[in-house]
Structure 1
C-alpha cells in the first residue's frame, strides 16, 4: 500500500514518508521494550525483597517517558506529512483533471470525482496521519513483546510466537474476502452521489410535472443498493473480526494453561507466570485493534486505487517543443473523429481565412459542436490535422492555444461569486475601465444596473441567480475582455427569449468584429452574415458556400433557412411581445 501511496503522490514525498515510518517503528519498539522492565519489577515485588523493585520502577518510568516523547514526535510527523501529502494531492489531482480530454467527463464522472475529491482524498491521505502509526504499533509492539517473552522463557515465548502466522493469515484472508464487497460498496456510493446530484438538478422538472410529493425512484433504488452493498461488505468482514478475536483469546488461554503447567511442575515461579500473562495481555490489545485498523486501511487502499486509475488516465499530450502560431486562420484537413464506436466527424476538410466568419449548420447530432471542440483541442483527432495559424494544434501548448481562443457556449457555467469576478475570468489582470467597457459592449451593464449590489451581486452556484440571457451576457463580456483573435460560438441564442436574444446578438456582433469566427447555430439570424457556410450532416460536409449561393441551390441549407427564416423569427418576437415582454426589459 505504501508503494501505491508514493506512486500516486510522486517520489518527492518518499524521503519524509520513509523517515516518518522509521520513527513510528522505533516508537513501537520502544513501547514493547518498556514492557520488558516489568519482568524484574514483578520478580522483585513477588520475591523476598520487594524494595529491590524501586530502581526498576524508576527505569520503567523513564522508559515510558521516552516512549511518550517518541510517540508525540512520530504522531506530529505523521500529521505534518499527511497534511503536506493532502495538499500536494489536491494540486496534483486538480492539475491532472484539467489536462484530461473533455470526453473523459461523462455523466457518471460527476459523482465519482465529487466523492474522490472530498471523502476519498481525506480517507486516502489520512492513512499517514491517523492509521499508519496504530498499524505499525499493532504489528511491531506485539513482536517486540514476544521477543521479550522468548528471552524470559523460551517455551512460553514459542507458544506466543505460534499465533503470529495465524493472525497474519487471518488478516490476509479478511482482506481478500472483503475486497469485492468494499469495491462494490464504493461503486454504489459513487452512483448514489451522482443520483443525488441528478435529483437536485432535476427539481424544476419534477416540480413542473407535479411530482413534488412522491419520492424519486432512481435515487431510492440507488440508496437501497448502497445499503445492501454496505451490509454485504460488513458481513464479509465479520468472519475475520471474529477469527482474530478468537485467535487472540486462544493464545492467552494457551499461555495461561502452559504457565500453570510449568508452575505446578516447578519449572517456573508464580511471579514469572504473572509476568508472562501481563505481557500477553499487552500483546492482545494492539492485535485486537488490527481488525478495525485493517478495515480503514482497506478502504483507504480502495480510494488510492481509484485515484491511481484516474492519475494513470492519459491526458492530452503537451508538445516537447511547442510552436507559437503567428497567424489566426483555421484549417481542418481530412479530419476524422470517433466517440466510442460512433463516427462523429468523417473526413472533413475546410478552412477559415484570418478575420473571416464560418457558420456551421445542420441537424442535431451532425457533429457541429464537435468541430469547435476539436479546434479548442478538447479532444485529439483520430485522423487528419486541425491547424491554427498553419500549426497543428497538437504542436501548440495548451496555454498558448487557449490564449488565442474565446469560447461562448450554449450552456453557460458561472462560478459562485460576483458578476465582476466571473467577467474577470476572461483576463484577471484587466483594468477596471476595460472590464466596464466589455460589460457595456455585451449589454451586461443593463443587468448590473437593476441588480441589488450591482457589480458585487452574487450569481450563485452555476449562475443560478441569473436568467439564461443574463448568464450569456456575462459569458460574452468575459470573451470580450479576453480579446482573443479567434472566437468559437456554440448555439449561444438557441434557448433564449426574443428580447434576450436581441441583446445577446448585439453583444456577439461586437465580439466577432475583426476576429476569426466559427459559429454553430440552429437559429440562422447571424448565419447569413457569415463569409462562408457549411452544412454538416452525419459528420460530413454536404453543402458549402455563401448564404445566397446555398439558397439558390435549393438544397438542405435552403430547407433549413425556410424553417428558421427571419420572417419566422419576427413572428416569434411578436408572440413574445404579446405575452407581455416589452423590448429592453429582461424577464426576472
Structure 2
C-alpha cells in the first residue's frame, strides 16, 4: 500500500512519508518495551522485598512518558503529512482530469469521478493520518512483546511466537474473502452516484411527463444494488472477525495452560507467570483491533488503486517541441476517428482558408460536432491530420491551441459566479473597458441593464438564473473577449426565441467579422451566406459547394433546403 501511495504522490513526498512511518515504528516498539518492565515490577512486588520495585516503577514511568511524547509527535507528523498530501493529490487530481480526452468522460465515469474526487481522495489520504499509526502499533507492539517474553522465558516466548503466523494467516484469509465484496460495494457506489446525477439532470423531463413523484427505476435499482452489496460485505466479514477472535483467545488460553504447567513443575514463579500473562493480554488487544483496522485499510487501498488507475490513464500527449500556427487557416486531411465501436469521422478532407466561413450541415449523428471537437483537440484522430495555421494540432501545445479558438456551443455552461466573472473567462487579464465592449458587441449589456445587481448578478449553478438566450449572450461576449482568429459555432440559435435569436445573431456577426469560421446549424437560412457549405452524412462529406451550387446540384443539401422551406410556404 505504501508503494502505491508513493507512486501516486510522487518522489517529492516520499521523504516525509518515510519519516512519519519510521517515527510510528519507533513509537510502536517503545510501547512494547514499556510493557516489558511489568515483569521485574511484578516480580519485585510479589517477592520478599516489594521496595525493590521502585527503580523499575521509575523506569516504567519514564518509558511511558517517552512513549507518550513519541505518540504525540508521530500522530502530529501523520496529520501534517496527510494535510500536505491531501492538498497535493487534489491539485494533481484536477490537473490530470483537464488533460484527459473528452471521450474518456462517459456517463459512468461521471459518478466515479464525483465519488473519487470527494470521499475517495479523503479516504485514501486518511491512511497516513488515521490508519498507519494504529496498524503499525497493532503489528509491531505484539511482536516486541513476544521478543520480551522470549528474553524472560524462552518456552512461553516460543509459544507466543508460534501464535503470530497463525494469527497472520487467519487475518490474510479473512481479508482475501472480503476483497471481492468490497470491490463490488465500491462499484455499486459509483453506479449509484452516476444515477443520482442522472436523476437530478432528468428532473425537467420527468416533471414534464408528470412522473416527478414516481420512483426512478434505474436509480432505485442502483441503490438496491448498494444495499445488497453492503449486506454481502457484512456477511463475508463476519467469519473473519469470529475466526480472528477465536484464534487470539485460543492462543491466550494455550499460553495460560503452558504457564500453569511450568509453575506447577517449579520451572517459573507465579510472579513471572502473572507478568507474562499480562504481556500476553497486551498482545491480544491490538491483534483483535486488526480486523477493524484491516477493513478500513482495504477501503483506503481500493481508493488508492482507483486513484492509481486514474493517474495512469494517459492524457492527450503534448509536443516536446511545440509549433506555432502561422495563420487562421484550418485543414482536415484524410481524417478518421472511431468511437464507441463505430466510425464517427470517415476519411474527411476539408481545407478552410484563413478568414473564410464554412458551414457544416447534415443529419443528426452525422459527426458535425465531432468534426469541430477534433479541431479543438477534444479527441485525437485515429488516422489523418488536423491542422491549424498549417501545423498539426498535435504539435501545438494546448494553451497555444486554445488561444487560436473561440468556441460557442448550443449548450452553454456558466460557472456559479457573477456575469462578469463568466465573461472574463475568455481573457482573465482583460481590463474593464474591454469586458464592457465585448458585452456591448454581444448585446449582453441589455441583459445586464435590467438585472438588479448588474454585472455582479450571480448566474447560479450552470447559469440557471439566466434564460437560454441570456446564457448564449454571455458565451458570445466571452468568445469576443477571447479574440481568437478561429471561431467554432455549434447550433448557437436553434433553441432561442425570435427576440433572443436576433440579438444572438447580431453578436455572432460581430464575432465572425474578419475571422475563420466553422459553423453548424440546422436552420439553413443561417448558413446560406457561408463561403462554403459541407454536407456531412455518416461521418463522410457527401457534397460541398456554395449555397447556389448545391441547390443547382439537387442533392442532399437541396432536399434539406426544400424541407426547411416547406413550413414557411404552408404558412
TM category (shorter chain) comes to: over 0.9
Matched, 1:260 2:281: no
For residue 83 of structure 1, what is the aligned residue in structure 2? Answer: 83
Asked if the contact 1:336–1:347 (Cα under 8 Å) also holds between the matched residues in 2, the reply is yes
**Whole-angstrom CA distance in 1 between matches of 2:74 and 2:213:** 54
**Whole-angstrom CA distance in 2 between matches of 1:458 and 1:565:** 41
Tell me the CA shift for residue 547 of structure 1. 1.0
Give the secondary structure class of the aligned counterpart of 1:529.
Answer: coil
Matched, 1:563 2:566: no
Superposed counterparts of 1:43-442, under 5 Å: 43-442=43-442
Give the secondary structure class of the aligned counterpart of 1:488.
Answer: strand
Tell me the CA shift for residue 569 of structure 1. 11
**Whole-angstrom CA distance in 2 between matches of 1:383 and 1:56:** 79
- How big is each residue's C-alpha offset from its partner over 1:40-69, in whole Å with a ceiling of 9 and x where there is no partner? 111111111111111111111110111111
**Whole-angstrom CA distance in 2 between matches of 1:459 and 1:172:** 54
Asked if the contact 1:160–1:255 (Cα under 8 Å) also holds between the matched residues in 2, the reply is yes
Give the secondary structure class of the aligned counterpart of 1:108.
Answer: helix
**Whole-angstrom CA distance in 2 between matches of 1:269 and 1:570:** 111
Q: Which stretch shows the higher mean deviation, 518-527 or 290-299?
A: 518-527
**Whole-angstrom CA distance in 1 between matches of 2:70 and 2:525:** 75
Give the secondary structure class of the aligned counterpart of 1:252.
Answer: helix
Q: Which stretch shows the higher mean deviation, 61-70 or 518-527?
A: 518-527
Gaps of 5+ in 2: none
Matched, 1:34 2:34: yes
For residue 535 of structure 2, what is the aligned residue in structure 1? Answer: 535
Runs ≥4 residues deviating over 4 A: none
Give the secondary structure class of the aligned counterpart of 2:348.
Answer: strand
Tell me the CA shift for residue 153 of structure 1. 0.9
**Whole-angstrom CA distance in 1 between matches of 2:66 and 2:52:** 23
Tell me the CA shift for residue 517 of structure 1. 0.7
Give the secondary structure class of the aligned counterpart of 1:525.
Answer: helix
For residue 520 of structure 1, what is the aligned residue in structure 2? Answer: 520
Give the secondary structure class of the aligned counterpart of 1:358.
Answer: strand
Considering only aligned residues, what root-mean-square deviation do their CA atoms show, in Å?
1.3
**Whole-angstrom CA distance in 2 between matches of 1:283 and 1:550:** 87
- How big is each residue's C-alpha offset from its partner over 1:148-181, in whole Å with a ceiling of 9 and x where there is no partner? 0110111111111111111111221122211111
For residue 582 of structure 1, what is the aligned residue in structure 2? Answer: none
Matched, 1:456 2:456: yes
Give the secondary structure class of the aligned counterpart of 2:158.
Answer: helix
**Whole-angstrom CA distance in 2 between matches of 1:241 and 1:39:** 31
**Whole-angstrom CA distance in 2 between matches of 1:553 and 1:539:** 21
For residue 578 of structure 1, what is the aligned residue in structure 2? Answer: none
**Whole-angstrom CA distance in 2 between matches of 1:220 and 1:379:** 34
Asked if the contact 1:524–1:565 (Cα under 8 Å) also holds between the matched residues in 2, the reply is no
- How big is each residue's C-alpha offset from its partner over 1:179-211, in whole Å with a ceiling of 9 and x where there is no partner? 111111000001111111111111111111112
Task: Please give the TM-score of this superposition, normalised by the length of structure 1.
Answer: 0.95
**Whole-angstrom CA distance in 2 between matches of 1:301 and 1:569:** 67
Give the secondary structure class of the aligned counterpart of 1:412.
Answer: coil
**Whole-angstrom CA distance in 2 between matches of 1:538 and 1:381:** 16
Tell me the CA shift for residue 266 of structure 1. 1.2
Q: How many residues align?
A: 571
**Whole-angstrom CA distance in 1 between matches of 2:397 and 2:490:** 23
- How big is each residue's C-alpha offset from its partner over 1:67-104, in whole Å with a ceiling of 9 and x where there is no partner? 11111111111111111111111111111111111100
For residue 579 of structure 1, what is the aligned residue in structure 2? Answer: none
- Note closer, same or farther for the CA distance 1:569–1:37 as it changes in structure 2 (3 Å cut): farther
Task: Please give the TM-score of this superposition, normalised by the length of structure 2.
Answer: 0.98
Asked if the contact 1:40–1:53 (Cα under 8 Å) also holds between the matched residues in 2, the reply is yes
Give the secondary structure class of the aligned counterpart of 2:37.
Answer: helix
- How big is each residue's C-alpha offset from its partner over 1:271-320, in whole Å with a ceiling of 9 and x where there is no partner? 11110111011111111110011001101111111111111111100001
For residue 4 of structure 1, what is the aligned residue in structure 2? Answer: 4
Asked if the contact 1:355–1:514 (Cα under 8 Å) also holds between the matched residues in 2, the reply is yes
Tell me the CA shift for residue 567 of structure 1. 7.8
**Whole-angstrom CA distance in 2 between matches of 1:396 and 1:100:** 16
Tell me the CA shift for residue 213 of structure 1. 2.5
**Whole-angstrom CA distance in 2 between matches of 1:238 and 1:491:** 57
Give the secondary structure class of the aligned counterpart of 1:351.
Answer: strand
Q: Which stretch shows the higher mean deviation, 229-238 or 560-569?
A: 560-569
Tell me the CA shift for residue 447 of structure 1. 1.3
**Whole-angstrom CA distance in 2 between matches of 1:259 and 1:309:** 52
Tell me the CA shift for residue 444 of structure 1. 1.1
- Note closer, same or farther for the CA distance 1:425–1:549 as it changes in structure 2 (3 Å cut): same
Tell me the CA shift for residue 452 of structure 1. 2.4
- How big is each residue's C-alpha offset from its partner over 1:306-356, in whole Å with a ceiling of 9 and x where there is no partner? 111111111100001000112110001111111132001111111110011
Give the secondary structure class of the aligned counterpart of 1:334.
Answer: strand
**Whole-angstrom CA distance in 1 between matches of 2:525 and 2:184:** 51
Gaps of 5+ in 1: 572-588
**Whole-angstrom CA distance in 2 between matches of 1:570 and 1:173:** 77
- How big is each residue's C-alpha offset from its partner over 1:239-276, in whole Å with a ceiling of 9 and x where there is no partner? 11111111111111111111111111111111111101
**Whole-angstrom CA distance in 2 between matches of 1:84 and 1:566:** 65
Give the secondary structure class of the aligned counterpart of 1:528.
Answer: coil
Tell me the CA shift for residue 10 of structure 1. 1.3
Asked if the contact 1:344–1:539 (Cα under 8 Å) also holds between the matched residues in 2, the reply is yes
Asked if the contact 1:525–1:566 (Cα under 8 Å) also holds between the matched residues in 2, the reply is no
**Whole-angstrom CA distance in 1 between matches of 2:486 and 2:545:** 21
**Whole-angstrom CA distance in 1 between matches of 2:481 and 2:315:** 29
Tell me the CA shift for residue 108 of structure 1. 1.0
- Note closer, same or farther for the CA distance 1:570–1:78 as it changes in structure 2 (3 Å cut): farther
- How big is each residue's C-alpha offset from its partner over 1:212-247, in whole Å with a ceiling of 9 and x where there is no partner? 332222211111110000111111121111111111
